[in-house]
Structure 1
Amino acid sequence: MTDFSNFTAPGINNLHPYVPGKPIEELERELGLSGTIKLASNENPLGPSPLGRKAAAESIAGINLYPDDSGYRLKAKLAAKYGLAPEQLVLGAGSSDVIDMVARTFLSPGGNAVFSRYGFAMYPIYTTAAGAQCRVADALPAEHKDMPYGHDLEAMAALVDEGTRVVFVANPNNPTGTWLEAGVLRTFLQDLPEEVIVVLDEAYTEYVTEPDFPNGVAWLAEFPNLLVTRTFSKIYGLAGLRIGYGMANAALIDLIGRVRHPFNVNTPALAAAEAALDDETFLQRSRNTNTAGLVQLASGFSSMGLSWIPSIGNFITVNVQRDGTQVYQQLLKKGVIVRPVANYDLPEHVRVTVGTEMENQRFLDALQEVLEA
């Protein structure tokens, strides 16, 4: 049999594919369970936006036709929402698709991308697939008084050199839930060379209630090298439809749009996203549920004597004081799916998505039983 590994692009053989959260159906099929709850992939526990769901269902009649490749209606609505021109927007099959476009446009052998140690797992995959070097900055230490495990912007800036083409900054960050204040992030952007593209990954921004949290979109006119990504997968509850978007100056969007796959966003996704933008009632309910859930989970961890990484996303990462993968596996047997994060170099932690009050309590009860056993 031919060994095709001899013919791969540089770096591919050493890549480990992204491992998503375990599907409910798969676990129940394997263990014969029912009533499983999934708190592994940072999905909205309240389901999809009702307005988005209705629009998606109504769009099904037209799926014999290719979708509008320009995404005209959705771009127009997003442009009006953010005070941009439609030419400043690119749509993707999730915001990760947009990040991949950036990597394929600007990264190549001889170049490098800079990101934080606990950054999103796709950053090194996209960088390596493009043939570029990953430059991983140490994060702030676990004992840092304000932001343990957070982005160390000074360490990231120190890794930028003449070969750096892209810097990835997640705010809030996944899987740590840590965040950067407006002042420090703006200074970081000001000090970077203008030829370095900065991807500000704001997948969880709609959940944030912190008063000093930055709005990257407001800085687009000031920083022509800034690209902000957002998604409908999280608070809007449209993860299964795969739709996100990027915002930047029109010249930058034009370049990355040249590598975009045609018809990369499907018809129901376009319809659902457009409608969901009007669903403020659902967004506020989702935000309130998340805020209360973060408090509930933190209180539960405290009662068990566990430490956790303070988070402003829709998830929280807890130190279970033992092998996190083993704890994850024991929780599976109880019909509770969370996320081990050893692949993020956090072997004694698990990440749990904020669920409903009932789901959160079921997880806490199951966790206590596992730890006591």
Structure 2
Amino acid sequence: MSNDNNKGGSNPVSAVRGVQGLQPYQPGKPIDELARELGLDPATIIKLASNENPLGPSAKALAAIQAELPELCRYPDGNGYELKQKLSLRLGVDPAQVTLGNGSNDILELVTRAFADSSAEVVYSQHAFAVYAIATQAIGATHVPVPAKDWGHDLEAMAAAINDKTRVVFVANPNNPTGTAISRDALDRFLNAVPAGVIVVLDEAYGEYIEDPDFPDGLQWVGRHPNLVVTRTFSKAWGLAALRVGYAISSPEVADILNRVRQPFNVSALGLAAASAVLDDEEYLQRSRETNRKGMQQLETGFKALGLSFIPSKGNFIAVDVGREAMPVYQGLLQEGVIVRPVGGYGMPNHLRVSIGLPEENRRFLEALGRVLERLEHT
């Protein structure tokens, strides 16, 4: 059928400023996709690409999901009452300070939509999470990436980049994909330097892996800085990546604004039930931390044995410098049935980001990496 309103073949549909130039976020390659491409048995493939929890989900979360299944015909609680109550008790905050999201990515987008527009500037660090730039460009705002310092955030330079047009600043602690972290004193100085009218998003997606008592907990600053939004997720240490549950802690006033742009039922009933249940599974969280700590040591030791440098990491992943362009190494590892993450798009063309796996997975990766590097050395 012809369209009389589109004579001449031109397309009258156009995206808002910035969207046309966006590159879609590239997640880690799925196991099934690699199995199809190379004819491999999925059971033989290991995936260390997406910073997932290698332990599998908590038994308490699985039981909560099972109990929720008969009610799949019902919409979830749009306010997330039970989960907000659990978070309130655990974190010592008022439920009115909690905003729930479809993963913490959802919160990042809610902030940009609520507080910035096409006339605004958004500041973040070089080598920081790709969604900061995507969320910024999607609303037509101007993104201002600030050069990193030693692979991490240069908070003094980021503070200096703030001007009258700045509406949002994204700070990740620890940062993905570098694993670098910000000290308590540096964070305090930065928050004191940011004007009250600029929203600071402190992304603590990997915060539950931190065991250092001196590591800064962003919630300690929320009461003193009404412009601070702390985001966290159940996708990493809590092991619920597939269910997409995240949240923000902020002042009640900021939370009220975020909830005005939040879509109804943005967190599923299964996600709400599982997240509420896993908060009671402290033993699972401790196992996650222990597995991560020992796995990090295993990979660091392996990299040293291979003569490779790496960026010390506070997350559940580590970025290793393979000493050459990383893409051929990545492709070679795929042939070995090992999926990791190239980070050339983050301005790190010689690095691979490797998620911490179970001991056997880490061992297989290190052995495969050694074989791939040796092959490439002789080609």
Band of TM-score, shorter chain: over 0.9
Q: 2:27 aligns with which of 3, 20, 26?
A: 20
Deviations 1:306-347 (A, max 9, x none): 000000100000001122122111111111000000010100
The residue number in structure 1 matching 2:118 is: 109
Alpha-carbon separation, structure 1, partners of 2:11 and 2:114:
26
The percent identity for this pair of structures is: 53
- The 1:32–1:272 alpha-carbon spacing in structure 2 relative to 1, beyond 3 Å, is same
Where do 5+ consecutive residues of structure 1 fail to align?
Answer: 141-147
Distance 1:36 1:344 in 2: 26
Per the alignment, residue 329 of structure 1 pairs with 331
Q: Report the residue type matching 1:233 in the other structure.
A: S
244, 262, 265: which is aligned to 1:263? Answer: 265
Any conservation in 2 of the 1:177–1:310 contact (CA below 8 Å)?
yes
CA contact (8 A) 2:19 2:139 kept: no
Runs of 4+ in 1 over 4 A off after TM superposition: 1-6
Q: One-letter code of the match for 2:16? A: A
Matches within 5 A, 1:1-373: 4=11, 7-34=14-41, 35-140=44-149, 148-373=150-375
Amino acid at match of 1:100: E
SS in 1 for 2:90: helix
Contact 2:137/2:143, CA 8 A, preserved across alignment = yes
C-alpha separation between the residues in 2 aligned to 1:359 and 1:295? 14
Aligned partners of 2:176 and 2:142: how far apart in 1? Answer: 21
Relative to structure 1, is the Cα distance of residues 200 and 5 closer, same or farther in structure 2, using a 3 angstrom cutoff?
A: farther
Write the letter of the residue equivalent to 1:245: Y
Report deviation, 1:82. Answer: 1.1
Conserved 8 A contact 2:243-2:271: yes
Q: Which moved more, 1:266-275 or 1:28-37?
A: 28-37
How many corresponding residue pairs?
Answer: 366
Structure 2, gaps ≥5 residues long: 1-5
What is the alpha-carbon distance in structure 2 between the residues aligned to residue 33 and residue 79 of structure 1? 46
What's the secondary structure of 1:7's corresponding residue?
coil
Distance in 2 separating the partners of 1:180 and 1:248? 20
Q: Deviations over 1:19-66 (max 9, x none)?
A: 000000111111111210100000000011221121112111111000
CA contact (8 A) 2:103 2:233 kept: yes
Matched position secondary structure for 2:284 = helix
Note if contact 1:68-1:267 (Cα within 8 Å) is conserved in structure 2: yes
**Distance between the aligned counterparts of 1:3 and 1:246, measured in 2?**
44
**Normalising by the residue count of structure 2, what TM-score does the alignment of the two structures yield?**
0.95
Instruction: Report if the CA contact (8 A) 2:174-2:181 is conserved.
Output: yes
Deviations, residues 128-163 of structure 1 (Å, cap 9, x unaligned): 1111100010100xxxxxxx2010001111110000
What CA deviation, in whole Å up to 9, does each residue of 1:70-95 have, x standing for no partner? 00010011011111111100101100
Task: Tell me if the contact between 1:177 and 1:309 (Cα under 8 Å) persists in the aligned partners.
Answer: yes
| CA RMSD in angstroms, aligned pairs only | 1.1
